[in-house]
Structure 1
Amino acid sequence: MSVPPESVVPPPSSEPAPPSDLPSAQERQWAMFAHLSSLLGLLITGHWLGWGCFLGPLIIWLVKKDTMPFVNDQGKEALNFNITVAIIFFALFVLTLITLGLGVVIAMPIGAVVFIAWLVFTIIAAIRANEGQRYRYPYTLRLIG
Protein backbone atom coordinates (compact mmCIF):
# COMPACT_ATOMS: atom_id res chain seq x y z
CA MET A 1 0.00 0.00 0.00
CA SER A 2 1.52 3.29 -1.04
CA VAL A 3 0.93 6.73 0.37
CA PRO A 4 0.24 9.60 -2.03
CA PRO A 5 3.09 12.18 -1.97
CA GLU A 6 0.81 15.10 -1.11
CA SER A 7 -0.27 13.47 2.14
CA VAL A 8 3.27 12.95 3.44
CA VAL A 9 4.14 15.48 6.13
CA PRO A 10 7.76 16.67 5.93
CA PRO A 11 9.85 16.19 9.08
CA PRO A 12 10.14 19.24 11.31
CA SER A 13 13.09 21.48 10.60
CA SER A 14 15.94 21.33 13.07
CA GLU A 15 16.52 25.09 12.75
CA PRO A 16 14.12 27.26 14.73
CA ALA A 17 12.37 30.00 12.85
CA PRO A 18 13.77 33.44 13.64
CA PRO A 19 11.48 35.57 15.80
CA SER A 20 9.57 38.13 13.79
CA ASP A 21 10.37 40.96 16.23
CA LEU A 22 14.14 40.52 15.92
CA PRO A 23 15.78 43.60 14.36
CA SER A 24 17.46 43.19 10.99
CA ALA A 25 21.20 42.56 10.80
CA GLN A 26 21.73 46.14 9.61
CA GLU A 27 19.77 47.56 12.54
CA ARG A 28 21.69 45.42 15.01
CA GLN A 29 24.99 46.55 13.50
CA TRP A 30 24.09 50.25 13.66
CA ALA A 31 22.86 49.85 17.24
CA MET A 32 26.18 48.23 18.15
CA PHE A 33 27.98 51.15 16.45
CA ALA A 34 25.90 53.59 18.49
CA HIS A 35 27.26 52.05 21.68
CA LEU A 36 30.85 51.58 20.48
CA SER A 37 31.06 55.04 18.93
CA SER A 38 31.41 56.48 22.42
CA LEU A 39 34.80 54.75 22.66
CA LEU A 40 35.85 56.24 19.33
CA GLY A 41 34.54 59.68 20.30
CA LEU A 42 36.56 59.60 23.49
CA LEU A 43 39.72 58.60 21.61
CA ILE A 44 39.31 61.30 18.96
CA THR A 45 38.53 64.18 21.30
CA GLY A 46 40.95 63.08 23.98
CA HIS A 47 40.15 62.17 27.53
CA TRP A 48 39.53 65.74 28.70
CA LEU A 49 36.49 65.42 30.98
CA GLY A 50 34.96 62.71 28.82
CA TRP A 51 33.19 65.17 26.53
CA GLY A 52 33.79 63.16 23.38
CA CYS A 53 31.98 60.10 24.63
CA PHE A 54 28.50 61.32 23.67
CA LEU A 55 29.30 62.69 20.21
CA GLY A 56 29.32 59.33 18.42
CA PRO A 57 26.00 58.10 19.85
CA LEU A 58 24.47 61.52 19.15
CA ILE A 59 25.48 61.48 15.48
CA ILE A 60 24.33 57.91 14.88
CA TRP A 61 21.06 58.51 16.70
CA LEU A 62 20.32 61.69 14.74
CA VAL A 63 21.07 60.04 11.39
CA LYS A 64 19.26 56.71 11.93
CA LYS A 65 16.44 57.45 14.40
CA ASP A 66 13.73 57.91 11.77
CA THR A 67 14.55 54.88 9.64
CA MET A 68 15.53 52.22 12.19
CA PRO A 69 13.42 51.85 15.37
CA PHE A 70 15.96 49.59 17.13
CA VAL A 71 18.76 52.08 16.47
CA ASN A 72 16.50 54.88 17.70
CA ASP A 73 16.00 53.04 21.01
CA GLN A 74 19.62 51.97 21.50
CA GLY A 75 21.03 55.27 20.25
CA LYS A 76 18.98 57.17 22.84
CA GLU A 77 20.10 54.73 25.51
CA ALA A 78 23.78 55.13 24.59
CA LEU A 79 23.39 58.91 24.40
CA ASN A 80 21.70 59.14 27.81
CA PHE A 81 24.35 56.96 29.44
CA ASN A 82 27.24 58.91 27.95
CA ILE A 83 25.71 62.26 28.88
CA THR A 84 25.37 60.93 32.44
CA VAL A 85 29.04 59.90 32.45
CA ALA A 86 30.08 63.30 31.08
CA ILE A 87 28.10 65.04 33.85
CA ILE A 88 29.83 62.89 36.48
CA PHE A 89 33.29 63.71 35.11
CA PHE A 90 32.41 67.40 34.91
CA ALA A 91 31.25 67.34 38.55
CA LEU A 92 34.51 65.68 39.59
CA PHE A 93 36.45 68.34 37.69
CA VAL A 94 34.51 71.13 39.40
CA LEU A 95 35.12 69.47 42.78
CA THR A 96 38.85 69.50 42.07
CA LEU A 97 38.76 73.17 41.02
CA ILE A 98 36.70 74.35 43.97
CA THR A 99 39.00 72.68 46.47
CA LEU A 100 42.08 74.09 44.70
CA GLY A 101 43.28 70.62 43.78
CA LEU A 102 42.68 68.90 47.09
CA GLY A 103 39.50 67.29 45.76
CA VAL A 104 41.62 65.22 43.41
CA VAL A 105 42.11 62.81 46.32
CA ILE A 106 38.41 61.99 46.01
CA ALA A 107 37.97 62.66 42.29
CA MET A 108 40.69 60.33 41.01
CA PRO A 109 39.44 57.10 42.63
CA ILE A 110 35.82 57.90 41.79
CA GLY A 111 36.81 58.81 38.25
CA ALA A 112 38.70 55.54 37.85
CA VAL A 113 35.71 53.50 39.03
CA VAL A 114 33.33 55.42 36.76
CA PHE A 115 35.68 55.00 33.79
CA ILE A 116 35.98 51.22 34.29
CA ALA A 117 32.20 50.89 34.74
CA TRP A 118 31.64 53.02 31.61
CA LEU A 119 33.97 50.80 29.60
CA VAL A 120 32.41 47.54 30.84
CA PHE A 121 28.80 48.68 30.39
CA THR A 122 29.55 50.04 26.90
CA ILE A 123 31.02 46.71 25.78
CA ILE A 124 28.11 44.76 27.30
CA ALA A 125 25.61 47.06 25.57
CA ALA A 126 27.36 46.68 22.21
CA ILE A 127 27.31 42.88 22.50
CA ARG A 128 23.63 42.83 23.48
CA ALA A 129 22.70 45.22 20.67
CA ASN A 130 24.52 43.04 18.17
CA GLU A 131 22.45 40.10 19.44
CA GLY A 132 19.26 42.11 18.89
CA GLN A 133 18.48 42.62 22.59
CA ARG A 134 17.44 45.98 23.96
CA TYR A 135 19.95 46.98 26.64
CA ARG A 136 19.30 49.42 29.48
CA TYR A 137 22.30 50.94 31.21
CA PRO A 138 22.11 51.06 35.01
CA TYR A 139 22.36 54.37 36.90
CA THR A 140 21.48 56.48 33.87
CA LEU A 141 19.67 59.80 33.69
CA ARG A 142 16.99 59.45 30.98
CA LEU A 143 17.36 62.94 29.52
CA ILE A 144 16.53 62.08 25.89
CA GLY A 145 13.19 60.34 25.88
Structure 2
Amino acid sequence: MEASNTTTESVYPLKPSDDERLMAVLIYVTSFFTTIILPLIIWLVKRDDSRFIDVTGKNYINFILSYTIWSAIGLLLVLVLVGLIILPIISLLVFIFHIVAIVKAYHGEDYLPPLSIRFFS
Protein backbone atom coordinates (compact mmCIF):
# COMPACT_ATOMS: atom_id res chain seq x y z
CA MET A 1 0.00 0.00 0.00
CA GLU A 2 1.46 3.30 -1.11
CA ALA A 3 1.26 6.34 1.19
CA SER A 4 -0.02 9.53 -0.36
CA ASN A 5 2.41 12.42 -0.53
CA THR A 6 0.35 15.37 0.71
CA THR A 7 2.89 17.01 3.00
CA THR A 8 4.50 20.17 1.63
CA GLU A 9 3.72 19.66 -2.03
CA SER A 10 3.36 22.95 -3.92
CA VAL A 11 0.14 24.09 -5.58
CA TYR A 12 2.03 24.01 -8.86
CA PRO A 13 3.37 20.71 -10.19
CA LEU A 14 6.40 22.43 -11.74
CA LYS A 15 8.42 25.47 -10.80
CA PRO A 16 7.11 28.49 -12.75
CA SER A 17 9.23 29.44 -15.74
CA ASP A 18 11.04 32.77 -15.97
CA ASP A 19 8.35 34.09 -18.33
CA GLU A 20 5.58 33.11 -15.92
CA ARG A 21 7.38 34.77 -13.03
CA LEU A 22 7.95 37.91 -15.15
CA MET A 23 4.24 38.15 -16.00
CA ALA A 24 3.32 37.67 -12.33
CA VAL A 25 5.76 40.42 -11.33
CA LEU A 26 4.33 42.69 -14.05
CA ILE A 27 0.84 42.23 -12.64
CA TYR A 28 2.00 43.91 -9.43
CA VAL A 29 4.50 46.39 -10.92
CA THR A 30 2.05 47.80 -13.49
CA SER A 31 -0.42 48.37 -10.67
CA PHE A 32 1.71 51.31 -9.52
CA PHE A 33 0.72 53.05 -12.78
CA THR A 34 -2.84 51.83 -13.26
CA THR A 35 -4.40 50.07 -10.31
CA ILE A 36 -6.74 47.81 -12.26
CA ILE A 37 -6.45 48.17 -16.05
CA LEU A 38 -2.93 46.89 -16.88
CA PRO A 39 -2.84 44.12 -14.25
CA LEU A 40 -6.30 42.98 -15.39
CA ILE A 41 -5.22 42.94 -19.05
CA ILE A 42 -2.09 40.90 -18.24
CA TRP A 43 -4.11 38.46 -16.15
CA LEU A 44 -6.90 38.05 -18.74
CA VAL A 45 -4.45 37.53 -21.61
CA LYS A 46 -2.07 35.15 -19.82
CA ARG A 47 -4.30 33.25 -17.36
CA ASP A 48 -5.00 30.39 -19.77
CA ASP A 49 -1.27 29.94 -20.46
CA SER A 50 -0.19 29.42 -16.85
CA ARG A 51 -1.81 28.32 -13.61
CA PHE A 52 0.76 30.43 -11.72
CA ILE A 53 -0.23 33.61 -13.58
CA ASP A 54 -3.92 32.77 -13.09
CA VAL A 55 -3.51 32.36 -9.32
CA THR A 56 -1.33 35.50 -9.08
CA GLY A 57 -3.92 37.52 -11.01
CA LYS A 58 -6.73 36.29 -8.77
CA ASN A 59 -4.66 37.07 -5.68
CA TYR A 60 -4.00 40.59 -6.99
CA ILE A 61 -7.69 41.24 -7.71
CA ASN A 62 -8.61 39.89 -4.25
CA PHE A 63 -5.95 42.15 -2.73
CA ILE A 64 -7.15 45.30 -4.52
CA LEU A 65 -10.85 44.66 -3.83
CA SER A 66 -10.16 43.90 -0.17
CA TYR A 67 -8.06 46.99 0.43
CA THR A 68 -10.57 49.14 -1.44
CA ILE A 69 -13.19 47.91 1.01
CA TRP A 70 -10.85 48.55 3.98
CA SER A 71 -10.14 52.07 2.64
CA ALA A 72 -13.86 52.79 2.24
CA ILE A 73 -14.41 51.69 5.84
CA GLY A 74 -11.51 53.94 6.87
CA LEU A 75 -13.08 56.86 5.00
CA LEU A 76 -16.36 56.29 6.81
CA LEU A 77 -14.48 56.20 10.10
CA VAL A 78 -12.91 59.58 9.30
CA LEU A 79 -16.29 60.98 10.22
CA VAL A 80 -15.65 59.69 13.73
CA LEU A 81 -11.96 60.76 13.61
CA VAL A 82 -10.73 57.17 14.05
CA GLY A 83 -10.12 56.98 10.28
CA LEU A 84 -7.43 59.62 10.53
CA ILE A 85 -5.28 56.90 12.06
CA ILE A 86 -6.58 53.97 10.01
CA LEU A 87 -6.21 55.44 6.49
CA PRO A 88 -2.44 56.10 6.69
CA ILE A 89 -1.95 52.61 8.14
CA ILE A 90 -3.92 51.04 5.28
CA SER A 91 -1.95 53.07 2.72
CA LEU A 92 1.34 51.95 4.25
CA LEU A 93 0.20 48.30 4.32
CA VAL A 94 -0.84 48.44 0.65
CA PHE A 95 2.60 49.75 -0.33
CA ILE A 96 4.48 47.20 1.80
CA PHE A 97 2.35 44.26 0.61
CA HIS A 98 2.83 45.36 -3.01
CA ILE A 99 6.59 45.16 -2.59
CA VAL A 100 6.37 41.79 -0.79
CA ALA A 101 4.09 40.45 -3.55
CA ILE A 102 6.55 41.55 -6.24
CA VAL A 103 9.39 39.72 -4.49
CA LYS A 104 7.25 36.60 -3.91
CA ALA A 105 6.14 36.56 -7.57
CA TYR A 106 9.75 36.95 -8.68
CA HIS A 107 10.65 33.90 -6.62
CA GLY A 108 7.70 31.96 -8.06
CA GLU A 109 5.73 31.81 -4.81
CA ASP A 110 1.98 32.07 -4.34
CA TYR A 111 1.16 35.06 -2.10
CA LEU A 112 -2.12 36.52 -0.95
CA PRO A 113 -1.43 39.58 1.23
CA PRO A 114 -2.78 39.61 4.80
CA LEU A 115 -6.29 41.02 5.33
CA SER A 116 -7.20 40.10 1.74
CA ILE A 117 -10.63 38.62 1.23
CA ARG A 118 -10.69 35.74 -1.26
CA PHE A 119 -13.38 36.85 -3.73
CA PHE A 120 -11.88 34.70 -6.51
CA SER A 121 -10.33 31.32 -5.79
- Shorter-chain TM-score bucket reads 0.7 to 0.9
How far apart are residue 69 of structure 1 and its match?
A: 1.4
- The 5 Å alignment of 1:1-145 reads 21-41=14-34, 53-96=35-78, 99=79, 103=80, 105-145=81-121
How far apart are residue 75 of structure 1 and its match?
A: 0.9
Distance in 2 (CA, whole Å) between partners of 1:55 and 1:80 is: 15
Q: TM-score, normalised by structure 1?
A: 0.67
Q: TM-score, normalised by structure 2?
A: 0.79
Distance in 1 (CA, whole Å) between partners of 2:98 and 2:62 is: 12
In structure 1, stretches of 5+ residues that fail to align are 1-19, 42-52
* Cα offsets for 1:18-58 (capped at 9, x unmatched): xx8111111100101112222222xxxxxxxxxxx344432
Q: Contact conserved, 1:54 with 1:83, CA < 8 A, in 2?
A: no
Tell which structure's C-alpha radius of gyration is larger: 1
Q: Contact conserved, 1:92 with 1:111, CA < 8 A, in 2?
A: yes
Distance in 2 (CA, whole Å) between partners of 1:89 and 1:136 is: 18
Structure 2 equivalent of residue 49 of structure 1: none
In structure 2, stretches of 5+ residues that fail to align are 1-12
* Cα offsets for 1:53-92 (capped at 9, x unmatched): 3444323222211112111011110110111011111222
**Over 4 Å off, 4+ runs:** none
* Cα offsets for 1:81-116 (capped at 9, x unmatched): 1110111112222344xx4xxx3x221210111111
Q: Contact conserved, 2:63 with 2:112, CA < 8 A, in 1?
A: no
The one-letter amino acid of 1:137's match is: P
Seen in structure 2, the aligned counterparts of structure 1 residues 120 and 94 have a Cα distance that, compared at 3 Å, is same
